[in-house]
Amino acid sequence: MPYFNNNEDVYRIFSREIIDKADQEINNLKSEVEEKKEKNLKRIKMELEASVNRGLELDLNDLNRDFSSNLSKVKNEYTRVLIKKRHELLDSIVMEARSKCIDFVSSKEYKDFISNKLTGIVDKFEKKKVEFRVKKNDTVAIDVIKKEYNGKFEIQEVSDIEIGGFSVICFEIGVLIDETIDNKLKEKQQWFYEHSDLAAK
């Protein structure tokens, strides 16, 4: 099932918003820089009229330092705003995907999902006894496992599965298979954070 619907549109909308806000911040900071620059230039001119060339070089150095400092502030503010917006957008996409997964667990397709994930599990564990772990009160997963699993098993309801699916472990041969939706979402989230253009470079 898709975890992200129309990711390009979401990315384009939020990217435009990030760029617009960042541009606005940059323009405001540039105006501040220009205003401070003008004030410093007027001050220098008045001092030059009072005492020709006295301290001119020092004043110009101060002006350059002020300008460099303000330009650095503009860049830092732009970076801060952009990183913040990127994190907000990434978090909102992940939350939307999680919400869709929760909706899926409540749908009719969830039963087929559990059934398909059970296919071949017995053979993977050499028909030895296994322990299924499911979300608490996940009656769909419990019923499908009880009806369709053809090996020896017991079922444990655990709190660390928050969405759905199951994990199955055979202690005798030391093998674990994680078919939880929680784990699949976590893997997709990690991939998205590592490969998305929204991730901070």
Please report the DSSP string for 53-104 in residue order: TTTHHHHHHHHHHHHHHHHHHHHHHHHHHHHHHHHHHHHHHHHHHHHHHHHH
* pLDDT at 144 exceeding the cut of 90: yes
Q: Where are the domains of the chain?
A: 7-105, 109-188
Residues 134 and 161: beta-carbon distance below 8 Å: yes
Q: Residue 3's pLDDT is what?
A: 43
Q: Residue 6 — pLDDT band, cuts 50, 70, 90?
A: low
CATH 3.30.2320.30 holds for 109-188:
yes
Task: Convert the pLDDT of each residue in 28-64 to its tens digit.
Answer: 767 776 787 778 668 767 766 666 555 656 767 777 7
